[in-house]
Amino acid sequence: MGEPGLAYAKLLTMKRTELFTKTSKTVPADETALNAKLLIRAGYVHKEMAGVYAYLPLGLRVLEKIKGIIREEMNAIGGQELLMTNLQPKAVWQTTQRWDDNIVDIWFKTKLQSGEDIGLAWSHEEPIMNMLRDYVHSYKDLPVAVYQFQTKLRNELRAKSGIMRGREFLMKDMYSVHATKEDLDDFYNQTIEAYKRVYDRLGIGNLTYVTFASGGAFTKFSHEFQTLCEAGEDWLYLDRERNIAVNEEVLDDAVKELGLSKDKLEKLRSAEVGNIFNFGTDKAEQMGITFADQDNTQKPFYYGSYGIGVTRVMGVIAELFADDRGLVWPDNIAPYRVYLVNIGNSPEVLARTQAVYDALQESGIDVLWDDREARPGEKFADGDLMGIPHRVVISEKTMASDSLEYKGRTDETPINTSLEELLNRLTA
């Protein structure tokens, strides 16, 4: 039995007449980001307000497939999945001074009916650590790594990059506690490699760099994962020869720290798709959380935090791979792998299309059948706009030659193929 997210994403097939969303030629007047324009037009998201989007069935399927890839890689390095609450008690964050709006200026805060102050989670370092104090008491309990897929809420001043920077967004955040610095450093490096595998599997590994960056409200320094993208909000300085990347905000410090030459650095626009932080023992010391070591003395945990912006990654991929016809999804995260089109509604064409639909489904290939009474050009344009990787057409013409018409999303011209060859192509 597969992972829940992957099972959800793989087992469904659908017909266009059953899908309540529709494609559109228009977008909200205040939407400027390409990723959001295409995702709105293709029926993946609905814009509620600036920086806030609802994820419709097609968009949710993409998110579930991205989550499935991340989940596999986090499980592979020992992560245990959980789900924390978004409601944040003031007292927990006061222990590290991060309830203070002068230190963290993106809080959404409200009150319970009792009058008690409460926040909506922008991150989960403090709550995770506070939770672990009830379960991890001894060096024998260590190390522990837990992660979640959680909606985060940040009162961003700017939210003009579509789903690449939202006030509400989905994040994978993982946290680990360790008995020694060496053990944390080892897990930190394992996570870097796991993140590289995630981005490779998402098709952006060759454009994504481990980047020396500021720790912001987290710690003094951090490592970001920055993907080269003209729509990004960051500037990256890249030493291609040494394969070292530096965020502009720490350029001067990093040049000294890493022995870089500014003359060799290439300035490039990029988008942050992940970040990791090594807190050492600072967080545990601030919160007064300890464990009993082998010598029976109480010592503070070593603590690490590791994030991937799931919706942001989706937006970056939409930006990077789009063409003049619409979205272009990598095969493994597309909402459906095959866009099946019938041209004509004769009983013979419909029966043949149904047979192909069933064969694809039986082979574990998710398929969206455009069974609408619409012109062929309209169906083809919708399939392209949605970014479905493979298009299969059945018509009186293809039936006459006992074949199917196949076209990859970025191919120039279609080819004729058999059902057997199509299944072999899609299951290889």
pLDDT of residue 1: 37
Grouping H, G, I as helix, E, B as strand and the rest as coil, residue 370 is strand
- Separation between Cα atoms, residue 38 and residue 356, nearest integer Å: 29
Which of the two residues, 9 and 356, has the higher pLDDT score? 356
Does residue 335 register a pLDDT over 50?
yes
* Listed range (188-197, 218-227, 274-283) with the worst mean pLDDT: 218-227
pLDDT of residue 222: 85
The model's pLDDT over 373-393, given as tens digits with 9 standing for 90+, comes to 999 999 999 999 999 999 999
Check if the beta carbon of residue 318 is closer than 8 Å to that of residue 38: yes
Residue type, 291: F
Overall average pLDDT of the 362-372 stretch: 96
The model's pLDDT over 275-312, given as tens digits with 9 standing for 90+, comes to 999 999 999 999 999 999 999 999 999 999 999 999 99
Strands 234-239 and 244-247: antiparallel
The model's pLDDT over 244-268, given as tens digits with 9 standing for 90+, comes to 999 999 999 888 888 999 999 999 9
Which residue ranges form the domains of the chain, and what is each CATH number? 31-321 (3.30.930.10), 338-427 (3.40.50.800)
Cα dihedral 259, 264, 267, 273 sign: negative
Overall average pLDDT of the 13-28 stretch: 94
Does residue 156 register a pLDDT over 90?
no
Does residue 407 register a pLDDT over 50?
yes
Secondary structure element (H or E) that encloses residue 19, with its range: none
Overall average pLDDT of the 59-84 stretch: 98
Does residue 52 register a pLDDT over 60?
yes
Secondary structure element (H or E) that encloses residue 123, with its range: none
Overall average pLDDT of the 142-165 stretch: 92
Q: Collect all residues with Cβ–Cβ distance below 8 Å to 126 and sequence separation of at least 6.
A: 92, 93, 95, 96, 98, 283, 287
Which of the two residues, 158 and 176, has the higher pLDDT score? 176
Check if the beta carbon of residue 93 is closer than 8 Å to that of residue 99: yes
Secondary structure element (H or E) that encloses residue 12, with its range: none
Check if the beta carbon of residue 238 is closer than 8 Å to that of residue 227: no
C-alpha closest to that of 33 among 236, 273, 232, 269: 232
Grouping H, G, I as helix, E, B as strand and the rest as coil, residue 76 is helix
pLDDT of residue 4: 42
Check if the beta carbon of residue 70 is closer than 8 Å to that of residue 415: no
Residue 157 pLDDT level (bands cut at 50, 70, 90): confident
Grouping H, G, I as helix, E, B as strand and the rest as coil, residue 376 is helix
